[in-house]
Structure 1
Amino acid sequence: MKTIFTKYNRERLPKYQIVIKIVEDNQGKRYALKEPLCPEAWQHLNNIFKNYKLLQTTYNLNLAKPKKIKQGLIFEFIDGNPLDLLMLKAIKNNDRELFQEYLERFLGFVDSMVSKRKVIFKPSLEFEKIFGKWEIETPQDIMELANVDISFENIFLDKDGKFFVIDYEWVFNFEIPKDYIIWRSFFVFSLHHSVDMLGFANIYGLDDEKLSEINNNFMKYIYGNYKYIVSSKSNNPSYKVDLDEIVEVLSTN
């Protein structure tokens, strides 16, 4: 197979270090590969395969299907458009209605995985080991099985407009508040596209400061003390798209 794209995750702790490849066979069909960069990372790949099974049996989702091979895991390549790029295009075209449509559909998609609503979140020991202390006292919507990788860039729209989840590397089988999943999706979009999406945190009642600390703890869980770790406060976009009008529209709905 011919390699089209390669991404190395060497900055992580050894047990999470993998390489991601997009490959193409002789017939032009593409696949995604995930391979370990060191022996310790094999268990992480096995966990990703288990994540697929967990999500498949718990939620009614369209997921990129994995298969175990000698090198690691191979995934079917979803023919579609990543949601983050569709949203970015809508922003650049000043198409507020289309942007709002994508955003609200994403939020509804995440909300469909909520199992408890408006309850005081009591974090488990497993949660605190990875994410640290939860210091938000307001009632939360809870996901009992949470894919922390549910972000705009990890959802593809196929030709029929269906959502496909292409990544489920970080799935946790314990309760996690939906607010963190939503906040993190805004943060990742801001980080990767230099667009200040965290302006939506206030609109949706998200505690930016405390959720940022939760996310920093999660990054330490993956990267240790590596300097790659950033917080929402340290993100310095190379450019900003003016979202004021979009924010105004959403805040009045």
Structure 2
Amino acid sequence: MIIYSKGTLDRKEDFRLVTTIEEENKKLFVRKKAVNPRAKDFLFGMVENYEKLKKILSPLKLAEAKFDGDSVVFPYIKGKTLSDEFKECYFNGQDEKALEILREFKNILKLLPTVEFETRRYKDFMRIFGNPTEKDGDWTVGCLDLNLDNLIRIGRQLYLIDYEWVFEFPLPKKFLYFRTFFYTFFSIKELLKIRCSKEFPLVQLLPEIFVPKEVYDQEALAVSGLRRFYDYEMNFQSYLSFRKNTAPKLKESVIFQNSQKPDIFLTLQTKNDEIEKLKAELRDIYGSKSWKIATSLRDMKRLFKKTS
């Protein structure tokens, strides 16, 4: 019996899958199937990914991928994702506890083996993500699905429940952290907007991505690095999807000072104050004698035009 179903029909045909949660003999499991024959190589590659990653990602346990006819099945692991934990912490005002989850993820990346970037793989990385630089820092196994959404905690053990995107070439650890950082704060953007105030200012990195100023300062995020990793992500989304990528460029959305840090820490409260101030000024103008006299003169002018 199928309990849940989700398709990735916005992807190119080579990557289109349907994921279902099913129940059989009172046991739950996850099944992934290719939408079309062209996506079967991508689907079946997950079993190979499991064999490749299970020893390398030693701090984590992987949900085992197995062949089942024309599909791949995984055990259903019941628990909260680290993303859910993060959201709950921010919702309950436990900001420091939420940031501990991000630090925990950063420590996981540190524990992963450092892989030397091979020049012969440069073209493969460039084709999908863009031009790498020495500033990208340490590289590790190319599992792009390492993020809070795919990590479930059971007791003290963390499980990686999905690993569709595993490349033959390595990925920068900083880039993996960047993706998690961005998508995690994107997931709580509405909550951040509500909480935003002079006491809780935000840095706006994109139209829909806000980061608490205190967190931004602690992370010491270099703008040049943000731009580069954001471009990596947008290039990957273009590689993945058949739709044209129209996402705003990070460099067009961040407000800079000396091309290094945001000049203004935008807060919704500040913007609302500005709107209310403008409304008050308009009310004063509309209520002034000069405006009323000017309005009367305009009405008389229109009347004369009609009668002439």
TM superposition score normalised by structure 1: 0.81
CA contact (8 A) 1:219 1:229 kept: no
Partners in 1 of 2:36 and 2:186 — Cα distance? 28
CA contact (8 A) 2:6 2:20 kept: yes
Superposed counterparts of 1:184-195, under 5 Å: 184-194=179-189
The one-letter code matched in structure 1 to 2:106 is L
Partners in 2 of 1:209 and 1:114 — Cα distance? 26
Q: Structure 1 residues 77 and 120, CA, compared in 2 at 3 Å: closer, same or farther?
A: closer
Cα deviation per residue 1:162-194 (whole Å; 9 max; x = unaligned)? Answer: 110011111112232111101111222234443
Q: Which residue of 2 aligns with 1:87?
A: 86
Structure 1 gaps of 5+ residues are: 236-240, 243-253
How many Å apart are 1:8 and its aligned residue? Answer: 0.7
Q: Which residue of 1 aligns with 2:235?
A: 217
- Of 118, 124, 128, 2:126 maps to 128
Partners in 1 of 2:117 and 2:147 — Cα distance? 25
1:140 matched to 2:143: no
How many Å apart are 1:53 and its aligned residue? Answer: 0.7
Q: Structure 1 residues 32 and 139, CA, compared in 2 at 3 Å: closer, same or farther?
A: closer
Q: Which residue of 1 aligns with 2:70?
A: 71
Q: Which residue of 1 aligns with 2:31?
A: 33
Superposed counterparts of 1:151-230, under 5 Å: 151-158=147-154, 160-194=155-189, 196=209, 203-206=219-222, 207-224=225-242, 226-227=243-244, 230=247
Partners in 1 of 2:210 and 2:173 — Cα distance? 17
How many Å apart are 1:201 and its aligned residue? Answer: 6.2
Structure 2 gaps of 5+ residues are: 193-208, 254-266, 269-308
Q: Structure 1 residues 21 and 139, CA, compared in 2 at 3 Å: closer, same or farther?
A: closer
Q: Which residue of 1 aligns with 2:99?
A: 100
TM superposition score normalised by structure 2: 0.67
Cα deviation per residue 1:193-216 (whole Å; 9 max; x = unaligned)? Answer: 436465656615352111111111
The one-letter code matched in structure 1 to 2:53 is L
Partners in 2 of 1:214 and 1:41 — Cα distance? 23
Q: Which has the higher helix share?
A: 2
Q: Structure 1 residues 91 and 232, CA, compared in 2 at 3 Å: closer, same or farther?
A: farther
How many Å apart are 1:120 and its aligned residue? Answer: 9.3
**What SS does structure 2 have at the residue aligned with 1:147?**
coil
Give the structure with higher Rg (CA): 2
Partners in 2 of 1:82 and 1:197 — Cα distance? 22
Q: Structure 1 residues 52 and 214, CA, compared in 2 at 3 Å: closer, same or farther?
A: same
How many Å apart are 1:100 and its aligned residue? Answer: 2.4
Partners in 1 of 2:81 and 2:93 — Cα distance? 19
Higher relative contact order (CA 8 A, sep 6+): 1
Q: Structure 1 residues 78 and 232, CA, compared in 2 at 3 Å: closer, same or farther?
A: farther
Q: Which residue of 1 aligns with 2:9?
A: 10
How many Å apart are 1:4 and its aligned residue? Answer: 1.5
